[in-house]
Structure 1
């Protein structure tokens, strides 16, 4: 009996010790997990702090660079020189739209294309349409170097018989261009800082965060460069839009009768006579319809009187009564 009790007591003590050991192991594992989480959080915070510091330092360095480049140590350098002002004045986008009449639309398009290519320009769009077998209409979009813009407009005017309308406007993009340049300098400074921190990154989380921000900065750099390239092209080449219509032969015949040959003058007179007859007939018809409320009752009364007069009995003459 005593042996059995001793045996159960030993088993109870061993079981209790096992439970205590398991509890201590679970507690140690939990503490280890907490320590690992805290360590990772501290590493991530350190990475973010380093990135924030890189942003601040890059922005400060870019601002100092811009300030140093724009600061003027003396009053003689307080104003931009003539070269800077000339470059600023060239940051203008010119566009013009013309509507002209030409003797031959197809030949005029070929002439304008040759003139544009000779001046270093190019044709963006050119269309030609036949209108009712009478005349042609053309449309062109031409890009001309800004230095040749005025001379090309002179050639365009000389190639037309009449300028129906023309409008020219300029868009000053100097301020936008300077802002883009400053923004590009700042973004490149941030890019350099991020590349430097990427080389020194000692954790995966920090490396991923820096890589993500570096991608955003590089995308912004490409966007700014694309906008600047577009503005450079628009500034360097002015846009000329031309609507052209051929002169009508009948209009020329009616307006310049003395300069035509005999057959053309006869054709012009025939057309003019037909037009006058049609105008006279149209005027008579309009007059008859317009005055019908007055003339129609009078006409009916006149017809009734005429019929009554024809049908009334004839009175016997005086000689017939005496007989």
Structure 2
């Protein structure tokens, strides 16, 4: 073993340019970080954090794009949270659900989900479908009436091969709703006072000083009213994010067992397939670029040989 490493080191020392070229090609096509990632599993990130705060999602489109309007600038929304109101019994809660399902056919499952959502008077927010080598996978986001969420989740469970993960989270927005209502009332009272001053204005100069203040208050009222409408709509419906796949390992999940030989075997097999594909890709690229690499290496060897001969003479 020591002799072999010694010979390898001597060869690298005598063929620095060739060694550098080989090292570059290996790094280009066989990045060690990719190999480690393929061996240890898929590096996926699923953000389960909600977007309910002072950035207001004003509209959800079928493409999943949300337009956000910040109410935190210009003093419209306060930096602190609304004061708690424990005396209110009928609470307003925004509910979001996440469920990962292993299914037999992803495409047919998406069609069934769309029909179910239409029957429940909801709508599809976003749909993403992918067909990699190891099976179909998809992410579907739907928004349905809150009273239908239990029935829809039950239907999804019963029509799947396996429920991999399920999570339901809620955010109580009652305090914020009550706080905004009070702010609207205060702004409307201030606006009425300014309008009273406007009626008693004696000249154009006084009118021009009052009008911008009235317009500023009206803009704040409109922003608060938009927020109120969003909170009412968001609390009356629920957002459900559904992860679908024919392969359990493609889904976001927290394994019950920390060491699963079957899962590790699948991941190792996939890593081997990916490595073989990269090897095939490297071979093809090497064959194509050999028209440049072979003459370059030959030229380098010829130059090195001539230099050695001159030194010997």
Give TM-score, length-normalised by structure 1.
Answer: 0.48
Q: Which has the higher helix share?
A: 1
Give the number of the structure whose alpha-carbon radius of gyration is greater. 1
